[in-house]
Structure 1
């Protein structure tokens, strides 16, 4: 049996001990000059195919609850995972399904392209976070390549689009940063911490 660290207990007491050897400053203490975030929620209506697929998930969940299916064949973890796939893009369930014009992915592509056009003079960088359907370099369908290809088709230069994986391990990051130091680029990432680290290096 393996054990691993899961969570801290007695966090206030732990923080008190930590402060004996550390000087903690919050953003408010430092009065950092940070940009004001502007949030925009864009709703994507489910396609008829997605609705049908979701009904199938409900039927599977009922069978699992009634113990009519072997857990090694189907279980709630698989149902939940498939639900995330369907919600993101139905082609993650089957690449042969239609590429709906108003899907989340295509709405994202349109928004990214609009921002790319409108910020051309400032040469700003966009980050797209997607922790599902990362590229495996085996020719299989994935959303990273799908979004990239659609942006290129709209007119975004291929050399201005990068995957965060291109900068990891860190010994490759210098070459990655040199490549995009002066380029306006769209950067795909499934790892928030690594993406922020790369951008911090890029802007220093």
Structure 2
């Protein structure tokens, strides 16, 4: 039986960054859901199915198995036993993943695969509904957040570092809108699970957040 850690929280809270660092520190598998969607996309492309052919996409989900492993500290993604890591970032794969990820049966297939991984491996997952929907029985549930100003400042600094022009107030408003959408969406809205531990990273460094979350996990 795997040991499971769920990290939920709003956009810009640093969930993926923190989850990857905790995974490295504790030896867990970081479940990269985006990579899993792309692996499924490769499966559909191999079968020469059009993204518009929802019926065939749904049927193809039946014989797709996606797993994640770490080899020499590097994430490897396998589709039906074949390592497809090198193909995940292809433009055709990205387009197929984008167009099929909204199909309910594709999301259900991914949910089944994620829960299967969690049963067999020690995993950490991050998202909007991990502790409330995907892994409701996770051993540790964290709700990672930060003030809107803090999240906007982080995004502002990130864009500036890339040499992009940006407006702090516009970024702040965008984050507020995303929060509202995520919290009020009909399917699996963002909310803190009743048994989740609240971690507010507004005044914390990345190392402090990682140390705090690792402290809640088994030694």
TM-score when normalising by structure 2 = 0.26
Q: Which has the higher contact order (CA 8 A, sep 6+)?
A: 2
Compare the two structures and name the one with the higher strand fraction: 2
> If you compute each CA radius of gyration, which structure gives the higher value, 1 or 2?
1
